[in-house]
Structure 1
Amino acid sequence: MKISIIGAGFVGATTAQRIWEKNLGDVFLYDIIEDMPQGKALDMMESAPILGIESKIVGTNRFEDCKDSDIFIITSGLARQPGMSRDDLLNRNAEIASNVAENIQRFSQNALVIVVSNPVDVLTYLIAHKTKLPKHRVMGMAGVLDSARFRYFIASELDIAPQAVQAMVLGGHGDEMVPLSRFATVSGVGIEHFLSKEKIEQLIKRTREGGAEIVKLLKKGSAYYAPSASILEMVESIVKDQKRILPCSAWCEGHYGVNGQYIGVPVILGRNGVEKIIELPLTEDELEALQESARHVAANVAKLNLF
């Protein structure tokens, strides 16, 4: 596999390291900042003799070096600062994403694309539109990260191993995301058996504000360790054709009452990209929350004036 990461900042470089250390393929780390991706790639490659990794990382400032990539991971763009929402990044990051999409269309017409840059659901729509790739080959990373945060917060509250907790967060990657507490379990047992309704609501709120919490603590920049781990899970499911069920920003055509739009839903993720959308039996309130989140994303997509 040839895996190209567009943007060699904190998210991109950490993602490159995780994918490379898993030996999932040769990684091409692209950035417009001269020599920066080359330096990061060289630093990682110098650890290969110690780690015993056979794959390579190549840093480049030439998009053509990413030609014929199997997977593109888009992390380029501005990061959030304290007081900013993901939507505040729309105009500047849309311009960057458009340029990336044009290069993908020019150099790699059969790739899978994972969009990470914010606002992720909107930019996933934009990149799918600009690249003209089949919709199932373009997806956004958000739900895996939001679900991991929800799982961790539950585990931390209960003082148990995070791996014992399963949970899923749907909807747009923003304040309107939909953490599904009804489906959250601890070793198969619903969390309502361990936590009060009030405590669950607090954890849902913290999940929705999870990114902002880290931005506030860092003072400058945003999260990258958990996002890069979330990207890795998606890439591994694709490269190994594991067909994991993961929440991703995927193209919906009537699913959950959402039509012609990217929004976070559970999907089967394999070698062909989004192979199937799983429709969970949601309550009326859960479905309305998901559709409201989709309407918010659609309003931001409309600001792009694509048509």
Structure 2
Amino acid sequence: MQNKIALYGAGNVGATTAHWLAQKELGDLALFDIYEQSAEGKALDLMQSGPAAGFDAKITGSNHPEIIADANIVVVSAGVPRRKDPETGKYPGRDELIKINQVVMEQAAKKIKCYAPDSIVIVVTNPIEAMCHVVKEVTGFPTERIIGQAGALDTTRYKAFIAMELGVSVKDVNGLVIGGHGDAMVPLPTHTTISGIPILDLISEKRLEEIIHRTAHGGGEIVNLLGYSSYYAAAAATAQTIESILKDQKRLIPSVVYTQGEYGYTDLFIGLPAILGCNGVEKIIELNLDFDEKAKLDHSMNAVKDVVALLGYN
């Protein structure tokens, strides 16, 4: 039986994720969006690209949520993205979006529970850790079936900046970014290598700190350039996550996962290294962090807890 992947939200992230997924031929795709016929139009356009791009997939779209029925995976990117204020030139932080996107996510979660009760949910909407808590609260799904796609994106940005700095292939850069998504993310220099060579053998600590700072503000940098949120890298990272699940690859991908004592945290969604397979989150990997890394992760955890508290759940 062919896998079915639903994109709940067919904006830039949702539609581009569908594009990556179609190229990977991971299953049939169903795009949903509330805005008139946009999902249907994008689905048809993408379907028509198959002969030229060389992929086979059934791709449909609708503004009726029933289209997500019986999906194996549901990617939720619906919500209000960060956009630059044309008057002030500033853009809202992820935390400021919480009340608006909480309502959107509660509605999405109800539809997912109704139409795709056995699905694994991949949350992309920000603030991502809080939105994972909303999905858990509304659906009651086992927490291994609720995954936030953030660490994969932050890690791919981190690797890209290092490759750009050193002039090496991105394929040879290995590294991890954990913690909360955004300014409080925690790249791990002690676990960063170039084909096994420790990163600090190839780059100064000062320069690496500058790259880490750029990684932490990577989303904001693109918002400043475009006037709206990034989507190519986010969509590619989401497709990577889905591929590991549907192919049961059991890849270690930093993801927003639900803690039950790992790293000393309990009952909190936060970005940590996780093995992703056919059951969703199959294992959270506990790394040996140095004092500075653990302190930064604790700081990030506290920042995430403060945002989650705004949801008003007990």
Distance 1:86 1:304 in 2: 14
1:29 alignment partner in structure 2: 31
TM-score normalised according to structure 1 size = 0.98
1:179 alignment partner in structure 2: 187
Shift of 1:149: 0.6
Moved over 3 A (4+): none
* Structure 1: gaps spanning 5 or more residues: none
1:20 alignment partner in structure 2: 22
Distance 1:17 1:129 in 2: 30
Distance 2:171 2:82 in 1: 29
**Can you list the C-alpha shifts for 1:33-84, whole angstroms capped at 9, x where unaligned?**
1111111111111122223322111011111121111000001111112332
CA contact (8 A) 1:257 1:291 kept: no
Distance 2:174 2:296 in 1: 21
**Structure 1 residues 41-120: aligned runs within 5 Å:** 41-82=43-84, 83-120=91-128
Distance 1:213 1:101 in 2: 31
Shift of 1:108: 1.5
Distance 1:111 1:189 in 2: 40
Q: Is 1:253 aligned to 2:253, yes or no?
A: no
- Name the SS of the counterpart of 1:274 in structure 2: strand
1:212 alignment partner in structure 2: 220
Letter in 1 for 2:312: N
Shift of 1:300: 1.1
- Name the SS of the counterpart of 1:3 in structure 2: strand
- Name the SS of the counterpart of 2:56 in structure 1: coil
Shift of 1:175: 0.9
CA contact (8 A) 2:61 2:67 kept: no
**Structure 1 residues 225-244: aligned runs within 5 Å:** 225-244=232-251
Shift of 1:160: 1.2
Q: Is 1:145 aligned to 2:153, yes or no?
A: yes
Letter in 2 for 1:88: E
CA-atom RMSD in angstroms? 0.9
TM-score normalised according to structure 2 size = 0.96
**Can you list the C-alpha shifts for 1:213-236, whole angstroms capped at 9, x where unaligned?**
0000002x1100000000010010
1:199 to 179, 185, 207: 207
* Structure 2: gaps spanning 5 or more residues: 85-90
Distance 2:102 2:82 in 1: 14
Distance 1:51 1:216 in 2: 32
1:155 alignment partner in structure 2: 163
